[in-house]
Amino acid sequence: MALLEVKDLHARVEEKEILRGLNLTINPGEVHAIMGPNGSGKSTLSYVLAGKDDYEVTGGSATLEGEDLLELEPDERAAKGLFLAFQYPIEIPGVASMTFLRTAVNAVRKKRGEEELSTPDFLRLVREKAKELSINQDMLKRPVNVGFSGGEKKRNEILQMAMLEPKMCVLDETDSGLDIDALKIVADGVNRLRAKNRGFLVITHYQRLLDHIVPDVVHVMAKGRIVRTGGPELAHELEAKGYAGYENAA
Amino acid sequence: MTKRGDCRGNGSKISWTQVETGSAITWKYPSCILRGDNSQGEFYSIAISNGYQQVDSGTKMIHLGKNTSSRIISKGIAAGVSQNTYRGQVSAHRKATNARNFTNCDSLLIGDKCGAHTTPYIEAKNSSAVFEHEATTSKISDDMLFYCRQRGLDAEEAVALVVNGFVKDVLQHLPMEFAVEAQKLIAISLEGSVG
């Protein structure tokens, strides 16, 4: 069974139709990349999948392991295993990153019918995962994303992803605002999470990220639809030729 | 309800801490009279209003002695259709040389039908007084709640987490046992305030 299956999805934001019949199937273990020009609806797709308010689905379906995603609340989708790494992670003043992680992990575990992690187990797990992403303990004591650099924010997103053990990870322009070293740390973090029961949807403008996170399938999105699908070589072609030919094809 | 503390001795200190979840209508101004030289007054407050509650709360710092100082940290949270007002007086008497006050007054709005107000009364009759007043008003943004919910927190857990972050400066001043209680009290007081 497909992990994520999106069929003929239509969605709009404030009367403006952005997704216009999008189809996408991701099987367990696969890494898909979506590339496309600004305004093609890539971020909208990630928000619609995650269930953000103001994004109204007007047609089509989206299922995770056969279960209707669109009927669920955002936190229920998270508990089912959908994770969205935000393009612009949100700041939460006064809430230590560690507290946030712990609250999130336990909330998800509770909804999945698992026991809460004990404090020592939790700390051990955080230390291990944080170390892999070069996140020091000091950063975990600071309020969530407040005063974080671009690289710190994105590494923090990947840390949350690693802690929550999702099945389907959507990365919305995780490469934006990263220098080369930070990009490599983040990409390595993602690659470590690749597993045969886990799928990834990597949204990006640039082929650069896909040199590090090598996708199985590359899609080109334009005007709310997927207009072309190919292998990793498609990303290189786009890098060379640009999106010009696709704006009209849609 | 108004309690007054009188700092009579040289270098004496009174610190008020309140976590106010209140009745339908609350007027409450625990105050300090800084009579002794070098005396200090503090007021740390969390005031939460929900439903149709009206909270009007704050403090009075009355500087009479020399070299007296006071500090006010107030966090107001308004949800539902409630109105939440901080009302505070800081005054320096003619003979109160070198009186100092720092006031920080932050308000957080949940939803779009509630109100937060700040009404400071500041009066310095001695030209050496230094009084500072800072105030902010912010709203729990939908983006913040969505971020929390994407990480698995339900709507109420998300609000409780954000609000606990907002009041952290005051919670730090509570005894540990009370701080734990206060966190839970905040969550209960805000039940049903979203979604």
In a domain, B187, yes or no: no
In a domain, B195, yes or no: no
Q: By mean pLDDT, which of A103-117, A150-164, B19-33, B172-186 is the weakest?
A: B172-186
Residue A240: Cβ-neighbour burial (10 angstroms; 0-12, 13-18, 19+): exposed
Of B150, B162, B169, the CB nearest to A78: B150
In a domain, B62, yes or no: yes
**Residue B110: CA count within 13 A, CB half-sphere:** 26
In a domain, B175, yes or no: no
Q: Tens of pLDDT along B106-148?
A: 999 998 999 999 999 999 999 999 999 999 999 998 999 999 9
pTM here is 0.90
In a domain, B158, yes or no: no
In a domain, B35, yes or no: yes
CA–CA dist A238, A218 (Å, integer): 10
Q: Is A55 on the interface with B (CB under 8 A)?
A: no
Cβ atoms of A26 and A62 closer than 8 Å: no
Task: Go through the domains of chain A in sequence order and give each one's CATH number.
Answer: 4-249 (3.40.50.300)
Q: Tens of pLDDT along A38-47?
A: 889 999 999 9
Q: Is A148 on the interface with B (CB under 8 A)?
A: no
In a domain, B92, yes or no: yes
CA–CA dist B185, B175 (Å, integer): 15
**What b-and-e string marks burial along B71-84, b requiring 16 or more CB atoms within 10 Å of the CB?**
bbbbbbbbbbebbb
CA–CA dist A238, A242 (Å, integer): 5
With 70 as the cut, is the pLDDT of residue A51 above it?
yes
A164: closest CA of chain B, how far (Å): 8
CA–CA dist A155, A178 (Å, integer): 10
User: Domain containing B127: what range?
Assistant: 4-137
Closest chain A residue to B168 measured between Cα atoms? Answer: A94
Pair of tokens at residue A18 = 């952005």
Task: Give ∠ CA A235-A237-A242 in degrees, rounded to 5.
Answer: 95
In a domain, B70, yes or no: yes
Number of domains present in the structure of chain B:
1
CA–CA dist B31, B1 (Å, integer): 11
Q: Tens of pLDDT along A68-120?
A: 999 999 999 999 999 999 999 999 999 999 999 999 999 999 999 999 999 99
- Test the B interface: residue of A77, A87, A92 with most B CBs within 10 Å: A92
Q: Is A84 on the interface with B (CB under 8 A)?
A: yes
- Judge: A86–B147 Cβ closer than 8 Å, yes or no: yes
Cβ atoms of B58 and B88 closer than 8 Å: yes
Of A93, A108, A160, the CB nearest to B165: A93
